Every structure is written in structure tokens, then in C-alpha cells.
A and B are shown apart, each in its own frame.
Chain A
Amino acid sequence: MRRIEKVILPLVTAAVVILAWHLVVVGVQATVFPSPLAVGRAMLELLEEGRLWRSIRDSLMRVGAGYGLALLLGVPTGMLLGWYVSLNRVANPVIQILRPISPLAWMPLAVIWFGVSNAAPIFLIFLASFFPIVVAAANGVRGVPRMYLQASQNFGLSAAMMFRRVLFPAILPRVMVGLRVALGIAWLVVVAAEMIAVDSGLGYLIIDARNAGKRYDLVVSGMILIGIIGLILDVLMRSAEGLESVRWGFRKE
């Protein structure tokens, strides 16, 4: 009963939304905004042309590169900042000023530096995800219970062993939360970046459909694809929070 509800209720919601959408479009005789049927046809068109998978692939590839880089550099950076108080005092003003700048504000500079190439959006995605990851890792380190560190000292672990065997696993649940936030932001940023800096991907699909013939059915198809993929990414991140090595951090005692 409960499990059926879990599947059926969201499907009912989706059906109601699509129906309402259809009725409104037909009712007001909208000329710009497409009906669900038109969007469905546009989606098939994208699929047949092969643009659907190409766009998705290009966007995901850019997110993967920029986000992956941010992950590889951000976690160690955050751990060092969290551990060495004086290093944090030096770096913190810079981070705090850079952090509130929307990554999109870097766009003109990114285009000058990297030209119209993959590197520009990858750079923006890197910037967008780097800071949330650094902050999560640094806060994680500051929140590690002292007794874990004392125990590690007591058993005679070297500093390198302590980082790897105590500090890193101890902050992993908090870092996972930061990673999830960062991936959400990265997915927002890739769409915007692709509208300007490159000529492929889901962001480009949307802007191109509008510029090259006011194909709003394609615009809305692109939007829906972005929504679905964003949802899938978030579900994947959430399921990573269920992994054995981080699950302990999400339990209430």
C-alpha cells in the first residue's frame, strides 16, 4: 500500500501538471509557449537527429571535468585550511571575497583566457564547485571530535597516517553534503556557460533553438532534459550518502 503510494502519487502529480499545461496552452491559444505534445515531438526530433545524446554527453563531460578537478583539489585544500589555523587566517579573506562572486561573472575573463573552447565552461564549473567543497572540508576538519585525534596520537600514528586514517574518514559525511551542493551548483552553471562560451551541450541547445528559428518547443525540451538529469545527479549523490563509509554520519544518536 505504502510502496504503491510512493510510486503512484508522483505519477499522478506529473499527469495533472501535464494535463493542466496542455489545457492552459490550448485555452489561451498560446503562440510562443509550446504544448506538451509539441515538446514531446521536439524531444523525438532531437533523439532522431542524435542531438539529444550529444548535448547530454557534452554537458556531462564538462561537469565531470570541472567538478572532478574541484573535488581533487578542493578536498585536500579544505583539509589543510581546516587543520592549519594560521594557513586559514591567510587564505580565508581571499576565499570569502571570491566565494560570493557568481561563477558566471568570470565568463568574460574565461572567454578571453580560454577562447570558445571546452576549457572556458570547465573553468567556470571548477570555480563554482571548488569553494563549497573547500568550505565543507575545512568545516569538517574543525568539527572532528578531539578524542579521535587524541586516540590517533595515542596509538602513535604519523601525521600522514592521521590525515588518511582519521581525519579523512571523519569528515567524509560532511564533505559528502558539500559535494552534493557543489554538484547542484555545477549543473546550474554548465547550462549558463554553454549559452555563451561553446557551441554544444544542453545550454547551447536552448540558446540555439531560440536564436535559429524561435523553436520554443526545443527550448522547453532542453529545459526538461536539464531538470531530469539534475534530478538523477542528485539521486546518485544521495545514494552515495548511503555508502557504508559515510552512512554513520547521517544517523541521529
Chain B
Amino acid sequence: MKSRDEKPSSFLLDEKQSKTSRAKVQIRDLAMTFRSDSSSVEVLRNINLEVFPGEFVCILGPSGCGKSTLLNLVGGFIQPTGGEITIDGERVTGPDRRRIFVFQERGVFPWLTVEGNIAFGLFNLSSREKETTIRRYVQLVGLSGFEKAYPQELSGGMKQRLEVARALAVNPDVLYLDEPFGALDSITRLLMRSELLRIWEAEKKTILFVTHDIEESVQLADRVVVMTARPAQIRRIVEIDIPHPRDLSSPRYIELRDSIFEEIGLAHKV
């Protein structure tokens, strides 16, 4: 009797442990409340999430729900008021160049050329290594011929690719993307998604991608983490079991997409 009781629990423990050691990013009981003298705003409550190496995870939620706060916490730019975040078993206490944050297109430095921006994080390299790295990432993101151009001479999509190149150049294991395509027009946004997937497949990075766009999340992610309104909790995690390249008119795509629409309480009709 006793032994039968123990067996499943130890089995569960084993599975948990093996998952723990495999997880790249682990978020445990995370809570965030912003306090000022007169008020306090609870933004995140009881967030538990694991992200595995090489995984593409989208964090999806309504505008202002706190998903960007979550990403800033994981990025180490702010400290949580409860719970903890570990990456490779190491507690996150601040930003780290092994994990680079990509902002909307305005994150590139306007006073540096394409080359200069990509070289920004490469201050430890010799000038020859720098040159090789720059050439490699200029090519990877398709900015060849624009090496000497300044960001203001580039289109929105090119600026965004430049920022991704700047991030990749320091060879991080994780990329955090905070609504990176939010400022782009819808056609550019579609192109950028397939570009990002191509780069992700080539570079094998773990990606955390914040968006409020349901279609975007289902097109990109291995798993979509659907958040509630503030204080944000995880409502559901949807596994997108469609291989890339994804057919956006396949029944499975539409089924998954609509299930998220439903989850959020939106009728998918205009």
C-alpha cells in the first residue's frame, strides 16, 4: 500500500527534476506590484513558466496587461516583488549579454551606421574578428550593400533587422523581443515574421516574443502563452503543433487561432 503510494509521487518528482534541468528559462511564482507613495498597481500575479532551449515562445495578451513587464523582468531590467526567475539554473539579477533584448525599431543607435550598430556589442573582439562578425550578420539579415548607411536612411523593416543583427552578433543564447514588429506596416510585418523564423532556424536561439497580435503568435511560436488582463496571469498555454513553414489556411492553423480568439473572448468576426 505504502509502496504503491510512493511510486507515482517519486515518478512525478523525477519528471519534474528532469524538466527543471532541461529548462532554459524558469519562472517561478513570479509577482510584480509597482508601488509609489500613494498607490500600488499589481501587474503580474503568480506566473509560472518554463521555456526550453531553442524554443520559440510567444507571450500574448491585451495591450497594457503587463506582458512587457514580464519580459523586462526576465531581461533583468527590473526586479520582481515576488518569486524568481532562473536561467540555466542561475538566478537573474540584471541584464546579461548572453540574453539580448530587442526593442521596437527605435532601439538602434541613430548616430551609428549599420556596421557601427552591429559592432556595438563587439568591443571585446579584435578588429579582424569584428569585421568577420559584421559581414556575417549583415548577410544573415539581408542588409548587404547598406553597411555604411545610417538608420534614418533605412526603412522600418530594415531597422528592425538591423537591431536583430546587433543582438545576434554577440552570440546570445536567448533573444527577448518586445512587440518588435508593432510599428511596421502589415505587409512588412508578414515578411519580417518569415525572416525571423529563418534566422531562428539558422541560429538556434531560444526566443521569448511579446505580442498582442493573435495571428502573429500562432504563425511564429512553438507555444503561445495567453495572458489575462491586469493583474496578468497565465490563462492558458497553447502548443502550436504545426511544422514550419506554416500554411495559414490549413484547418489546424485556423482551429488553433480561433481557439485563442475564443479564449480571449473575442468572436472572430468583423
**Which residues on A are within 8 Å of B, measured CB to CB?**
145, 147-148, 150-151, 153-157, 161, 165-166, 169-170, 172, 244-246, 248-249, 251, 253
**Smallest CB separation, B208 vs chain A (Å):** 14
A170 adjacent to B95 (CB under 8 Å): no
Restricting to B87-116, which residues have a CB under 8 Å from any CB of A?
94-97, 99-101, 103, 106-107, 109-112
Complex formed: what's the CA distance from A251 to B110 in Å? 11
Contact between chains at A155 and B109 (CB < 8 Å): no
CA separation between A154 and B102, bound complex, in Å?
10
Known A-B contacts A153-B77, A156-B97, A248-B152; A169 and B109 likewise in contact (beta carbons under 8 Å): yes
Min CB–CB distance B167 → chain A (angstroms): 9
Closest to A249 in B: B110
CA distance A251 to B107 in the complex (A): 17
Binding site for A on B (CB under 8 A): 75, 77, 94-97, 99-101, 103, 106-107, 109-112, 120-121, 123, 150-152, 170
B129 CB to closest chain A CB, in angstroms?
Answer: 16
Inter-chain contact A151/B110, CB cutoff 8 Å: no
Closest B residue by C-beta to A252: B152
Within the assembled complex, what's the spacing in Å between the Cα atoms of A118 and B163?
A: 52
Determine the chain B residues whose CB is within 8 A of the CB of A148 once the complex forms. 107, 109
With A151-B101, A154-B101 as known contacts, state yes or no: A166 contacts B109, CB within 8 Å. Answer: yes
* Chain B neighbourhood of A245, CB < 8 A: 111
8 extra interchain contacts, Cβ-Cβ under 8 A, other than A151-B109, A248-B111, A251-B152? A148-B109, A150-B77, A154-B97, A155-B170, A156-B96, A156-B97, A170-B109, A249-B110
Residues of B within 8 A of A147 (CB): 103, 106-107
A253 to B106, CA, bound (A): 11
Which chain B positions have C-beta within 8 A of A150?
77, 95, 101, 103
Q: Would you give 20 A-B contacts (Cβ < 8 Å), ordered by A? A: A148-B109, A150-B103, A151-B109, A151-B120, A153-B77, A153-B94, A154-B99, A155-B97, A155-B100, A155-B120, A155-B121, A156-B95, A157-B123, A161-B123, A169-B112, A246-B111, A248-B111, A248-B150, A251-B152, A253-B152
Closest Cβ–Cβ distance, residue B111 to chain A (whole Å): 4
With A161-B123, A248-B152, A251-B152 already in contact, the answer to whether A151 and B97 are too (CB < 8 A) is no
Q: Which residues of B contact A145 (CB under 8 A)?
A: 106
Closest-by-CB residue of A relative to B98 is A156
| CB nearest to A148 among chain B residues | B109
Residues of A within 8 A of B103 (CB): 147, 150-151
- Report the nearest A residue to B176, measured CB to CB: A154
Given the complex of chains A and B, what is the CA–CA distance between A144 and B111 in angstroms?
13
B190 to chain A, nearest CB (A): 23
Known: A150-B77, A153-B95. A248 touches B101 (CB 8 A): no
- Pick from A145, A147, A155 the residue with the most CB of B within 10 Å: A155
Contacts of A157 in B (CB 8 A): 123
For A170, list chain B residues within 8 Å (CB). 109, 111
